[in-house]
Amino acid sequence: MWTRAVVVWFGLLVLAFANGAVREATLVPAFGDNVAHAISSVTLSGMIAVLAWMTIGWIAPSSSAAAWQVGALWLVLTLAFEFLAGHYFFGNPWNRLLADYNVLRGRIWIVVLLTTACAPYLTARIAHMLRDRVLP
């Protein structure tokens, strides 16, 4: 389960890079930085939910607790990448990295993090409920 969860997280990383590229190329020029970040946060959250839905059967958490653990793993990997790679590899200053957490300035990155943490549990739960309804 853990290896599959990490493989899917790398898929999330690819989606996040693509989402950021689209934001910078199209949304920022059209709407400005704050609105573009809000739109891309919502868009990325949706993509995370869809990828979780598409892969939760393959990840195959054995329980609700295991699904929450997958979400916690994804969250830790996301935060580690954001801060460690963001600062040390991409050269972003700490204050720029922390700016996405300022909800009072319209930054709703926290929605992406909440989606990342909750998506495995929620999609596993929904899939389980649908499976129980369909099968006798």
Domain ranges for the chain, please list them: 2-134
> Can you list the pairs that 74-80 forms with residues at least 24 positions away whose Cβ atoms lie under 8 Å?
74/5, 74/8, 74/9, 74/12, 74/116, 74/117, 74/119, 74/120, 75/113, 75/116, 75/117, 77/6, 77/9, 78/9, 78/12, 78/113, 78/116, 79/113
**Alpha helices, DSSP H, located in 1-136:** 2-22, 28-31, 33-59, 64-80, 94-99, 109-134
| Tens-digit pLDDT profile for residues 99-131 | 888 888 878 999 999 999 999 999 999 998 888
Q: Could you say which residues of the chain have pLDDT below 50?
A: 135
Which pLDDT belongs to residue 134?
57
Q: What is the DSSP secondary structure assignment for residue 100, as one 8-state letter?
A: T
pLDDT at 11: 97
